[in-house]
Amino acid sequence: MTEPTSPERFNELDLQPEVLQALNDMGFETMTDVQAQAIPHLLTSVDFLGQAPTGTGKTAAFSIPLVNRIEPGTGHVQALIVGPTRELVQQIALEINQIGKVKGVTAAPVFGGERMYGQKQRLREEPADIIVGTPGRLIDHLQGLSIDLSRCRIVVLDECDEMLDMGFIDDIELILSYLPQGRQTWLFSATMSQESLKVADRHLYYPEEVRIQPQRHSAEVIDQYYYIADEEDKLQILKNLIKTDPDLYGIVFCQTKKGVVELTRKLRGRYPVECIHGAMEQSTRELMMERFRNREYKLLVATDVLARGIDIDCLTHIINYEPPRDPEAYIHRIGRTARAGETGVAFTFFEPYQEWDYKQLVKRIGMEMDLHPDSTGAFEAQPRRRSGGRGGSRSGGRGSGGYSGNSQGS
Ligand code: ADP
Ligand code: MG
């Protein structure tokens, strides 16, 4: 028997004309793999488990069928999406509002860092068909009765592994307890950990499953290099990179707020650079993102708050000025470049004492990175505490526990 050929373009799907029109306006014609495989299922009543790498269009994979299935303007929340961070939640809401534009389906984002009062008022005055929220703030609204899920038919857990990594398991369980029996549950994640599978076991009923394997972790489209250099040399290498590439438009990742602030200070004045970290006011963060998207500055220095699911078009560079604490975060950081088929380059800076971190990373991504010829140092044979150097204002060798910057909001 021959396999039925799966549709490749949105207009081959059984979507409402209003939805197709909006997709057309957005420039969406060809489906990504996860979209082609997931959407036909999600247009029917099913529970669903979807895994596909970062940058493969999971948001639209659930948003398109959601919009298609929702009746606009009933005044009831018909679908709920739970996501890990404010930025991601805002982005999902934005994408749904675009897809829903012609049909009149709306999504409202709710997240911490903004006053409850204002959010409650907005939810009351402009009732949305779909709520998109971070776990903590959703619970505040549910307990405060400012969101009613009694008519919610579909719940999406987006970037589930991320949420569980961030310790949101109890929050997710609590949120799910507010949803009516018989609702559909869709779980999406870039990776699928045992913990996510346990959530699926508990809450998904004979789910349809789609798994898209990473293409060797985007290795084909992202050139990955590493540098070994002392702290002082790292700054010089970064400056050279910026100088030699006038088209550079990228994100520089540091581990901590302090690292972000210090590096930004050292670069500011000479380069069009700004920063974002978790301790900034929400409104300032939004403004910074907006200006970066508009390319009012070319280099964004950030902590990992930004790495989770944020999408900015056409980044040329991801620079890990400090390697991520956790190899998983690396995948997310470099996933910011080479989105949707573009190419990109990722540079990761290691200090000579960080050989262990390098090895962990290489093991995780399952491939060697190339040592950049402009490296100025070499790994020390033995991992040991860094001695000498200037100032010592930052914590030294690995294992010193000096990374304090868990700046995640909810
Ligand atoms: P993921 O959640 O899998 O990491 P996103 O949903 O953030 O990925 O999508 C990545 C980017 O690809 C976004 O900019 C999105 O607008 C774009 N995109 C998604 N699907 C399509 C499509 N079918 N055609 C064109 N662009 C798309
Ligand atoms: Mg996503």
8 Å CB contact between 212 and 38: no
Q: Which residue has the tokens 């997240």?
A: 111
Q: Is the CB of 50 inside a 6 Å radius of any atom of ligand 1? A: no
**Which ligand does the CA of 95 lie closest to?**
1
3-state secondary structure of 249: coil
Cα atoms found within 13 Å of the Cα of residue 343, Cβ hemisphere only:
4
Residue with tokens 């902590």: 303
Q: For residue 66, count other CB atoms closer than 10 A to its CB.
A: 25
How many Cβ atoms are within 10 Å of 377's Cβ, its own excluded? 15
User: Can you tell me whether residue 213 is helix, strand or coil?
Assistant: coil
What confidence tens digit (pLDDT) does each residue in 116-144 have? 999 999 999 999 999 999 999 999 999 99
CA distances from 76 to 35, 144, 149 (A): 27, 17, 8
The secondary element (H helix, E strand) that includes residue 131 is: strand 130-133
Residue range 351-369: mean pLDDT, rounded: 84
> Residue 338 pLDDT > 70, yes or no?
no
Residue 282: left if φ>0, alpha if ψ -120 to 50, beta else—which one?
alpha
Q: What is the mean pLDDT of residues 341-353?
A: 83
Split at pLDDT 50, 70, 90, the class of 79 is very high
- Identity at 326, one-letter amino acid code: D
Cα–Cα dist 404/5, whole Å:
51
The helix/strand/coil state of 244 is helix
Three-state SS at 380:
coil
Q: Which residue has the higher pLDDT, 329 or 217?
A: 329
Best of 13, 188, 339 for a ligand 1 pocket test (most atoms within 8 Å of beta carbon): 339
Ligand 2 mean position, distance from CA 245 (Å): 30
Band of pLDDT at residue 155, cut at 50, 70 and 90: very high
Which tokens go with 269?
Answer: 């004045």
* Backbone φ, ψ for residue 399 (5° rounding): 85, -5
pLDDT 10s digits, 47-67: 999 999 888 899 999 999 999
Residue with tokens 């899920």: 149
Distance 181 CA to ligand 2 centre (A): 26
Q: Is 253 in the pocket of ligand 1 (CB under 6 A)?
A: no
Confidence band, pLDDT 50/70/90 cuts, at residue 180: very high
Query: 212 CB under 6 A from ligand 1?
Result: no
For ligand 1, say whether the CB of 98 is within 6 Å of any of its atoms. no
Residue of 12 and 387 predicted with greater confidence: 12
Of the candidate ranges 93-97, 194-198, 357-361, the one whose mean pLDDT is the lowest: 357-361
Rounded to an integer, what distance in angstroms lies between the CA atom of residue 369 and that of residue 227? 10
Residue among 32, 34, 51, 218 whose CB has most ligand 1 atoms within 8 A, to mutate: 32
Confirm if 292 and 312 have CB atoms less than 8 A apart: yes
Residues 6+ apart with CB under 8 A from 119: 110, 137, 141, 146
